[in-house]
Amino acid sequence: MRAQASAAAFAAASLWSMPAHATDCRALEGNMAGAVKVTAATAIVPAPTWSPETDSFYKPIPVAVPMCRVEGTIEGNIGFELWLPMNGRWNGRLLGAGVGGDAGVFNYSDMSRRVAEGFATVTTDSGHKVSQARWMADRKARVDYEHRAVHLTALAAKRVVALFYGKPADRSYFLGCSGGGRQALKEMQVYPADYDGVVAGAPGPYMPLISVRMMWFSLLQKREPAGALSDADWSLYEARANRACDGNDGVVDGVVENPLACHFPPASLACAPGQTDGCLSAPKVATLQAIVAPMPDENGRPMDKGLLPGVRTRPGPPSPLLRAMWADAVYNNPYWDENTFRRTADLAAVNRAMPQLRADSVRVAPFVAQGHKAIIYQGWQDPSVIAGPTIDYYTSLAAANGGEARLRNAVKLYMVPGMYHCRGGPGVDQFGGSGQPSAPGDPSRDILWSLIDWVEKARAPGAITGARVKDGAPVFSRTLCPFPEIARYDGIGDRSEASSFRCVRDPGLAARFSSR
């Protein structure tokens, strides 16, 4: 409620005089250039609040500001929604809201939060509906999902914004996590003119390889049921590893600041003779060791760098999205037998079928040359989109774009200690990222507003304060630092307050730039 009230207060403080014709919402309906069709344009007058009916996992918060709700399609299959603040509440900016997973839904969560701050907000289902069976078997739907839908939606939104307000948006930004973070990277890499700045959370730059890892360790446990790891087993491993490395940052608080500096051998969890609790059987230790180690190809050569200490994974069978990548996109066979999966060959196959699913291109010079900015954030303990590849991508970006110092003028990375996938985990997970409560207009506590401050006022982001909240009450806060800096406890202040931590350059993290 506090976040909603502050958003409303900020919007009220940001009023500007809007042209009279901007209230004519219904007039937007109809066909437009670029195969864009506005199927409905509805003036929303909350009384006192309004929320869209939806089954999207991006749940909205109640909207309390008047707006024009624009619903439409592009090329027939790409759905989009654009929410336009009315009655002088537009702040002159357009915000794209990304969607993750297999998409097929709208990001009402970020739209409802940010429209209250004055943004014209837009989102797309990426070219299909979540209920659409076997959509990956459709080549156009695959390509739209990879990159086209977000780009075409940005172009359509800019046209509608200019038409509605009588002027184009002053600035455009994009915010997303998981698949939405990957969409943000694709915008930076492929369509550098779409957005002045992007925030990419947990982007999974080389998602096909991460998908191969997920499929491999799921099948590994299916074939070796005695070694299959339960959620409790992963919790045990996580807790013990965190306990071993928690104090490395100078304070014991249940959060590991830098897992790369952590050493915890899985073999230490092996049960002693006669022990049954708080330990793992020999088959489970063997499985754990295999999963956290670099994934081998069929000839024993490493395909990746493995997992960081204490990072858990999801137990159980492969997710439906993973199966669809091969059953539908690669083999176009709904009866594809996952037991025939081959790490090397099937990685190559998905790269052929969906070449733009990768978002690891380091050719971002056109984006940088236009003065555009990007912020990447990543949970250190993300069990889905693991952290190592995000760090490797950032250091590769530096190597290809003039080195660390030059890259930091355009792209910054924030590693979030203890955070899982986009949110959750033992660390802080509220700092204005996608799907998180916002801190309107405050660049010190909101990563989107930190980006805006960077683009519009040339104030480069520094420390950002993240919060941990439970049942609506703050638990603790922590300073988030731009990579390769980490937060170090000052040894004096309240350990639950971000003000007791300062950002210091970590030699181990900094060395990753020179290793490229």
> For residue 471, what pLDDT is reported?
86
CA angle in degrees (0–180, nearest 5) for 346-350-355: 145
> For residue 22, what pLDDT is reported?
53
> For residue 515, what pLDDT is reported?
75
> For residue 363, what pLDDT is reported?
97
Instruction: Give the C-alpha separation, 179 to 187, whole Å.
Output: 12
Tally the C-alpha atoms within 13 A of residue 80's C-alpha that lie toward its C-beta: 32
> For residue 11, what pLDDT is reported?
39
> For residue 68, what pLDDT is reported?
98
Question: Domain residue spans in the chain?
Answer: 1-169, 209-355
Torsion angles phi and psi, residue 478, rounded to 5? -150, 145
> For residue 516, what pLDDT is reported?
67
Instruction: Decide: helix, strand or coil at residue 68.
Output: strand
Secondary structure string (H, E, C) spanning 110-148: HHHHHHCCCCEEEEECCCCCCCCCCHHHCHHHHHHHHHH
Q: CA quadruple 475, 476, 477, 483: dihedral positive or negative? A: negative
Look up residue 100 and give its two tokens. 């993750």
Q: What is the DSSP string of 413-472?
A: EEEETT--SSS-SSS--BSS-TTS---TT-TTT-HHHHHHHHHHH------EEEEEEETT
> For residue 314, what pLDDT is reported?
80
Look up residue 172 and give its two tokens. 């455009």
> Which amino acid is present at 403?
G
Ranges of the chain whose pLDDT falls below 50: 1-21
> For residue 273, what pLDDT is reported?
95
Mean per-residue pLDDT of the chain: 93
Helix, strand and coil content of the chain, in percent to the nearest 5, comes to 40, 20, 45
Torsion angles phi and psi, residue 168, rounded to 5? -70, 165
> Which amino acid is present at 423?
R
Tally the C-alpha atoms within 13 A of residue 243's C-alpha that lie toward its C-beta: 9
Look up residue 338 and give its two tokens. 């996952």
Instruction: Give the C-alpha separation, 374 to 479, whole Å.
Output: 20
Dihedral of the alpha carbons of 433, 439, 440, 444, in degrees to the nearest 10: -90
Taking the whole predicted model, whether its pTM rises above 0.85 is answered as yes
